Homo-oligomer: A and B are copies of this chain.
Amino acid sequence: MEKTSGTRTDLARYDNSWYDPGPFWKRTLWYLAGRLLVNTYLPVPNGLKIGVLRIFGARIGAGVTLKPKVNIKYPWFLSVENNTWIGENVWIDNLIQVSIGRNVCLSQGAMLLTGNHDYTRPGFDLMLGKIQLHDGVWIGAQAVVCPGVTCHNHAVLTVKSVATRSLEAYGIYQGNPAVLIKTRNIKELP
């Protein structure tokens, strides 16, 4: 449209040929199976969802719960440890490994983003960043964890907040970008 100063983006130069998420047949099969059984509002039994994810290479512990309409990009890049909850409409956009610990809660509509672009290059190069959610982390409803972020144990990201940097253990973060607002103290009832 109008004239631009400086160099321009040219998406025709985009080249992600170095990125190999697995064979086409496998991605296609998962796309169909996932859409039919996991990324759906059909009342599919939890055990069947987990079975299908494992068949496609996900490492999933005991006592893991998946709510309806969970969107997972590639199960073979996902590990989830025991007693973790994955809420309704959660979107795990794992172009690369996402590792989720024990007793983690991903609330409804939460998103884990592993893909980014180098906006300083004309070719808008793909950049990937693994995500780790350590034990006891809580990602609030509609919150987003950005590529390369590690949420250390028992960190909390509040509703609709955006974690652009790693979160400290037991820290409670809010906003876009999320900032530390207080510390989480977990106590047994007396």
Q: Is A26 an interface residue (CB 8 A)?
A: no
Asked if B141 and A160 sit within 8 Å, CB to CB, the answer is no
Q: Is A174 an interface residue (CB 8 A)?
A: yes
Considering only residues 150-178 of chain A, those with a C-beta below 8 Å from chain B are 152-154, 156, 158-162, 164, 169-170, 172, 174-177
Q: How far is the CA of A63 from the CA of B188 in the complex (A)?
A: 50
Q: Is A103 an interface residue (CB 8 A)?
A: yes
Q: Is A138 an interface residue (CB 8 A)?
A: yes
Considering only residues 98-145 of chain A, those with a C-beta below 8 Å from chain B are 101, 103, 105, 108-109, 111, 113, 117, 119-122, 124, 132, 134-136, 138, 141-142, 144
What residues of chain B lie closer than 8 Å to A158, measured between beta carbons?
164
Asked if A146 and B159 sit within 8 Å, CB to CB, the answer is yes
Q: Which listed residue, B11, B121, B132, touches A85 by the CB 8 Å rule? A: B11
Q: How far is the CA of A159 from the CA of B93 in the complex (A)?
A: 14
Decide: A154 near B187, CB < 8 A? Known: A141-B113, A176-B161.
Answer: no
Nearest CB in chain B to that of A4: its residue? B153
Flag A75-94 by CB within 8 Å of B: 1 or 0 each.
00000001111000001010
Chain A positions within 8 Å of B, measured between CB atoms, are 1-2, 4-12, 28, 31-32, 35, 39, 41, 43, 63, 82-85, 91, 93, 101, 103, 105, 108-109, 111, 113, 117, 119-122, 124, 132, 134-136, 138, 141-142, 144, 146, 152-154, 156, 158-162, 164, 169-170, 172, 174-177, 184-189
